[in-house]
Amino acid sequence: MALLDTSDIGDSTAIRGEIRRRRSVKPDAGFGIGDGLYDSSSSSRTNSSEEEGESLTNGFDENERIRAGDETQTTQENKQKTDQRRDKTSLLQYAYRASSPAHRRIKESPLSSDAIFKQSHAGLFNLCIVVLVAVNGRLIIENLMKYGLLINSNFWFSSRSLRDWPLLMCCVSLLFFPLAAYIVEKLAWKKRISDPVVITLHVIVTTTAILYPVFMILRVDSVVLSGVSLMLCACINWLKLTSFVHTSYDMRSLVNSTDKGETESESLDIELFYDADFKSLVYFLLAPTLCYQLRYPRTAFIRKGWVLRQLIKLIIFTGLMGFIIEQYINPIVQNSQHPLNGDILYAIERVLKLSVPNLYVWLCMFYCFFHLWLNILAELLRFGDREFYKDWWNAQTIEEYWRLWNMPVHKWIVRHLYFPCLRNGIPKGAAILVAFFMSAVFHELCIAVPCHIFKFWAFIGIMFQVPLVLLTNYLQNKFQNSMVGNIIFWCFFSILGQPMCVLLYYHDVMNQKVNSK
């Protein structure tokens, strides 16, 4: 093996080159020996001519050395390339001989469970994109051939929508409740009213803030879209109002405990000692957060060009969402039967057919609201913390999904509901159940009230998440595989849960209209 070493080969080549260079130097040695054989008289007579001859000979020999060295280097490079080609040819001839071993190591299949995540799946991802484009392209052509273009502006804005001005006035009047809470807090900080009175007034204000829009929607014969918009604004206003009240009460409690010597003032941040600040409350009502605090992280400036680009995206994706609703979801829903009153196979077929466009609308809604709109609002207000969502699409359990999906609501629940329950001695499991119960109530209000139907489908759907949380947590602990819980999440949310709720509420609304006539 030492004979095949590249360093040895290089050394032998260098020796051969050195021998060639020495051979080229021999004429100089010969002339020097010859000069020593001449006598002094002859050398004196030919001194000048010999000096000229030596200079010419030396110049000639130097050129010969350079030329010989270049030829030697070129010869060495050509020989090395030839040797490398011979080595490769010999190796290939040996590798493809019948006697050479074809199996040398232990290897897993690329799609096996041990090696699937070590491989690149870019080609399969491209295949999925091609299949999605082909399938949805066929559905678009089939839908246009069957129904034509169903885009109608009356679906969003009609003469009936103009009669919804009481709901618009109700939405504007919701600002009265934060103002009332601010006045109560101002009186509490000045110690004009006692804590029991403050608590009673805050309970009245917050309860009225959520019941007032419910009463207005039920009294006014409005379109569903107007009612949903008002209820969303009312729920956001209630959550912000509750955070302001709870935070202010906690601040006053800390200040009072510090004055009594129960808490060391050095352990508290100086920002905690403040009076009820109206500017902070106004900024909080506009900011894309549900948790009140005196100061927020702020950016240095507003990127106007960035805001314009996001607004263009918001308009495009909102239009795409409306197109999918009118062109695909409406015909499917109108041509379907009640999923609980017909053939079970037919109901499953309708739900699966509705699941694809419903998933597109859901993803567009998420991108438009949580990414585009909240970031636009944060940029205009220079709001720094823009973690409005996390990678919920990689959730391994249902519980993890609810922690990643809606970060403003998650932070509110943790701050104002979950940890207060734990501090009051409520077990962790019961605290989680309370959080899901509150979420179910608000989902029911946002859907059932605008539809004027209280069948509790949304409430049941959210509370059904509790056993799913237990199931996915059990499967995660048992199999230690992130794919199981993630697949269950996508199936129950996108394929079964949401399309089923859409069909249930639509047919209940249609039955209600038929019965009223």
Residues 327-372 pLDDT 10s: 888 888 877 776 667 677 777 887 888 888 888 888 899 999 999 9
pLDDT, mean of residues 393-397: 83
Phi, psi dihedrals of residue 370, rounded to the nearest 5°: -75, -30
Residues, the chain:
517
Q: Which amino acid is at 513?
A: K
**Domain span at 236:** 172-286
pLDDT at 113 > cutoff 80: no
For residue 262, pLDDT beyond 60: no
Q: Please give the pLDDT value at position 163.
A: 65
Which tokens belong to 437? 């119960």
Among candidate residues 433, 407, 426, 444, the one with its CA nearest the CA of residue 291? 407
Residue 249 inside a domain? The answer is yes
pLDDT band at 258 (very low <50, low <70, confident <90, very high): low
CB 336 within 8 A of CB 503: yes
10 Å Cβ neighbour count for 332?
21
Q: Which of 222, 229, 188, 225 is nearest to 205 (CA)?
A: 188
Task: Domain count for the chain, please give it.
Answer: 1
Distance CA 314, CA 323 (A): 14
Would 176 be classed as within a structural domain? Answer: yes
Better-predicted residue by pLDDT, 323 or 375? 375
* Phi and psi torsions of 275, nearest 5°: -90, 170
Res 138 pLDDT > 90: no
* Angle, alpha carbons 112-118-119 (nearest 5°): 80
d(CA 75, CA 69): 10
Whether 451 is in a domain gets the answer no
What local confidence, expressed as pLDDT, does residue 159 receive? 57
Q: pLDDT averaged over the chain? A: 76
- pLDDT, mean of residues 69-92: 65
**Would you state the pLDDT for residue 39?**
40
Query: Given a cut of 60, is residue 6 above it in pLDDT?
Result: no
Q: Residues of the chain with pLDDT > 70: what percent?
A: 73
Q: How far apart are CA 355 and CA 362, in angstroms?
A: 10
**pLDDT reading at 309 higher than 70:** yes
Checking if the pLDDT of 3 tops 60, the result is no
Least confident piece of the model among 271-280, 311-320, 419-428? 271-280
Q: Which residues, other chains included, contact 495 with Cβ-Cβ below 8 Å and sequence gap of 6+?
A: 351, 352, 355, 359
Average pLDDT over residues 482-499: 77
List, by residue number, the catalytic residues: 443
d(CA 361, CA 365): 6
Is the predicted pLDDT of residue 70 greater than 60, yes or no? Answer: no
Q: Is residue 399 part of a domain?
A: no
Mean pLDDT of 287-309: 91
pLDDT surpasses 70 at 405: yes
pLDDT for residue 421: 92
Per-residue pLDDT, averaged over 379-392, amounts to 91
CA–CA distance, 444 with 511 (Å, rounded to integer):
19
Whether the per-residue pLDDT at 265 is higher than 80: the answer is no
Q: What is the pLDDT of residue 87?
A: 61
Q: Which two tokens mark 19? A: 């021998």
pLDDT at 270: 44
Identify the residue with better confidence: 505 or 1: 505
**Token pair of 354, please?**
């509705």
Whole-number pLDDT of residue 462: 87
Q: Is residue 257 part of a domain?
A: yes
Are 355 and 494 in contact, with CB atoms under 8 Å apart?
yes
| pLDDT value for 9 | 38
How many C-beta neighbours within 10 Å does residue 179 have? 14
Query: Which of 108-112, 273-277, 477-481 has the weakest average pLDDT?
Result: 273-277
Q: What is the C-alpha separation between 377 and 132, in angstroms, rounded?
A: 33
> Quick one: which of 180, 187, 186 has its CA closest to 202?
180
**Residue 477 domain flag:** no
* Mean pLDDT, residues 3-19 taken together: 41
298 backbone dihedrals φ, ψ, rounded to 5°: -120, 145
Residue bearing the bigger pLDDT, 70 or 502:
502
Mean pLDDT of 467-488: 78
- What angle separates helix 176-189 from helix 278-286, to the nearest 10 degrees? 150
Q: With pLDDT > 90 as the criterion, what percentage of the chain qualifies?
A: 24
**Predicted pLDDT of residue 131:** 85
- Indicate the residue type of 107: K
Q: Which residue has the higher pLDDT, 393 or 148?
A: 393
d(CA 255, CA 269): 11
In a domain, 213, yes or no: yes
Residue 217 lies in a domain: yes
